[in-house]
């Protein structure tokens, strides 16, 4: 059988109806937190699978316009995730995003733990739909009781994305059919101009007729009160043009360094978590010897659990080593579980 027929057979078996090379585009960037910046593609902290560069314009205190120049996608709106890069209690969220004639554009807002706008460095990731037979990702924009239309949602199974509202600030997003794919874990970014915190609290696979992967999400305002917020959710594992490797941190208070078990990671090596101090931990996962220094990298983190929490990246290296810190909404440090993603060009 020819390679082309084998590829078509694989796509048919897994129910994927688009070619691996069609429609997908991905990009990420690190913004330093001051002034206007243009991040080359590719560079140490910027990358796009298609496009020229990433531009960040500071529009005011804690307000930024991020432009993935050349990442055009017709009517496909895609998905945006953002994480604060800061040593102090800080959260960043996406105010809105859209596709223009110049590419994918997103407005990012950053706040302190009181909900006051503040300037901050951040890591941002943008993606739009595409299908891969050697990996999977899915995403949705959710507005308390419904997923957005196709333009801002994508499920590689070609099935529905359902949203169930259980109460104020409590929803479950179900990606039908996704349970039959390789494991994926969620990243979540709050959406809108009002500061808030949305985070995953549980991921469950439905082994009945729908084979759905279900993510429970809770949202709060900055006073810790449950509130309905729109949010952006990304379920990632691996893409055709960008590696989305994840680590689930579930024991951040361990007094001794520990290796992350295999069922909590999808990474090239066994990562080690070291607690530096209350609320602060370092994740170390050196890449294979054939890739001793990844050319471009980005890190995103989502707190995971039932208490409203802010988690930020403090630094990361291309080697790969990243440091993170989490806080309660009152600004005190707290040991807290989190999902960490390392994004890099697809070279593994």
Residue 241: the pLDDT is 59
- Residue 215: pLDDT over 80: yes
3-state SS, one letter per residue, for 83-121: EEECCCCEEEEEEEEEEECCEEEEEEEEEECCCCECCCE
Do the beta carbons of residue 123 and residue 300 sit within 8 Å? yes
- pTM value is 0.90
- Phi, psi at residue 44, to the nearest 5°? -55, -40
- Please report which confidence band the pLDDT of residue 208 belongs to, taking 50, 70 and 90 as the band edges: confident
d(CA 269, CA 266): 9
% of residues, the chain, pLDDT over 70: 86
Between 26 and 330, residue with greater pLDDT:
330
The proportion of the chain whose per-residue pLDDT surpasses 90, expressed as a percent, equals 57
Give the pLDDT of residue 289. 65
Mean pLDDT of 101-107: 92
Q: What pLDDT does 99 receive?
A: 87
Backbone φ/ψ region at 60: left (φ over 0), alpha (ψ -120 to 50), beta: left
Looking at residue 265, its pLDDT comes to: 87
Structure confidence at residue 296 (pLDDT): 79
pLDDT at 7 over 50: no
Range of the domain at 146: 1-348
Taking residues 217-224, what's their average pLDDT?
98
* Res. 106 pLDDT band, cuts 50 70 90: very high
**More confidently predicted of 108 and 135:** 108
* Nearest Cα residue to 286 out of 305, 308, 310, 259: 259
Residue 73 binned pLDDT confidence (cut-offs 50, 70, 90): low
| Residue 12 burial class via C-beta count within 10 angstroms: exposed 0-12, middle 13-18, buried 19 and up | exposed
Average pLDDT in the 11-28 region? 49
Provide the pLDDT confidence category of residue 21 given band limits of 50, 70 and 90: very low
d(CA 300, CA 303): 10
In angstroms, the CA 105 to CA 312 distance is 23
pLDDT digits over 47-67, tens only? 988 889 999 999 999 999 999
- Per-residue pLDDT tens digits for 229-241: 999 999 987 555 5
pLDDT band, residue 130 (cuts 50/70/90): low
Domain total for the chain? 1
């Amino acid at each position: 059988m020819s390679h082309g027929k084998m590829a078509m057979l694989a796509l048919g078996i897994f129910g994927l109806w688009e070619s691996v090379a069609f429609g997908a585009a991905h990009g990420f960037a690190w913004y330093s937190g001051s002034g206007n910046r243009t991040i080359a593609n590719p560079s140490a902290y910027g990358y796009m699978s298609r496009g020229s560069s990433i531009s960040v314009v500071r529009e005011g205190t804690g307000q930024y316009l991020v432009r993935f120049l050349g990442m055009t996608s017709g009517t496909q709106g895609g998905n945006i995730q953002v994480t604060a890069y800061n040593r102090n209690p800080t959260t960043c969220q996406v105010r809105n995003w859209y596709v223009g004639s110049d590419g994918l554009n997103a407005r990012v807002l950053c706040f302190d733990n009181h909900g006051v706008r503040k300037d901050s460095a951040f890591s941002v990731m943008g993606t739009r739909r595409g299908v891969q037979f050697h990996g999977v990702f899915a995403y949705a924009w959710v507005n308390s009781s419904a997923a957005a239309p196709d333009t801002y949602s994508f499920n590689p199974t070609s099935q529905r994305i359902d949203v169930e509202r259980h109460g104020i600030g409590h929803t479950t997003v179900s990606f039908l059919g996704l349970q039959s794919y390789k494991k994926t874990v969620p990243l979540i970014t709050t959406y809108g101009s009002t500061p808030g915190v949305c985070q995953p609290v549980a991921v469950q696979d439905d082994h009945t007729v729908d084979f759905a992967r279900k993510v429970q999400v809770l949202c709060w305002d900055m006073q810790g009160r449950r509130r309905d917020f729109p949010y952006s959710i990304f379920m990632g594992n691996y893409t055709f043009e960008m590696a989305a490797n994840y680590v689930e941190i579930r024991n951040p208070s361990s007094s001794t360094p520990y290796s992350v078990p295999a069922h909590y990671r999808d990474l090239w090596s066994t990562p080690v978590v070291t607690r530096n101090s209350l609320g602060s931990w370092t994740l170390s996962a050196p890449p294979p010897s054939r890739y001793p220094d990844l050319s471009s990298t980005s890190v995103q983190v989502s707190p995971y659990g039932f208490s409203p929490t802010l988690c930020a990246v403090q630094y990361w290296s291309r080697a790969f080593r990243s440091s993170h810190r989490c806080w309660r909404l009152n600004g005190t440090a707290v040991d807290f579980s989190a999902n960490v993603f390392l994004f890099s060009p697809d070279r593994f």
